[in-house]
Amino acid sequence: MSNYFLSTFVNSYIGNWARSFELCILQTVLMPMSTTKLVIDYEYEFDLYGVVAPIKEYKLAWLLNRGFGWDLTKSKDIEVDFLNDGMMIISNYSQENDFSFYRLLKNQCSETKKIKAPYLLPEIKQFDFVLQLEGEILYKLEEADVLEKLRNISGIHFATKIDVENLKSKDNLLI
């Protein structure tokens, strides 16, 4: 009789465990897991100017240094690798001081591999360069003053301010 009691207990215990296990498996299969997305919303606290200048970037950097009194120097080219094995190399001149940051980027990439649109900002591919101003300089120079100085530099055919928020590829500027 004790063997019967023991086998009944084991069968009922294992049976309950097996049914519980089956229920867990069914819940896992039938009920989708909740997913959590990490949404990062960047703040673009800089002004961006598009420049049409059919000259070499070192020449434009030199002209900007003379016109604005800056000291833009050649920085390491920016290399952007993509998941689909594509790559862009972007020419970069910059100056950074305690409270301001200036950067001249060539819009058309100097080297590309497997990239359909070889531009840093493909929506504005009519511009040869983009000038990024960030920090204290935004309070020192008004937009009209920047545009006037840019337009007075020989070699620059056209310059305008670009609304960063309307660019689809604005994340490319966070490099």
The pLDDT of residue 170: 77
| Cα–Cα distance measured from residue 50 to residue 102, given in angstroms and rounded to the nearest whole number | 14
Q: Look at domain 46-174 and name its CATH class.
A: alpha beta
Flag the least confident range among 38-47, 69-78, 100-109: 38-47
At 21, the pLDDT band (50, 70, 90 cuts) reads very low
pTM score, whole prediction: 0.72
In the chain, DSSP finds a helix count (H) and a strand count (E) of: 4, 9
| Cα–Cα distance measured from residue 108 to residue 130, given in angstroms and rounded to the nearest whole number | 10
Rounded to 5 degrees, what are φ and ψ at 43?
A: -105, 130
Domain regions of the chain by residue span = 1-35, 46-174
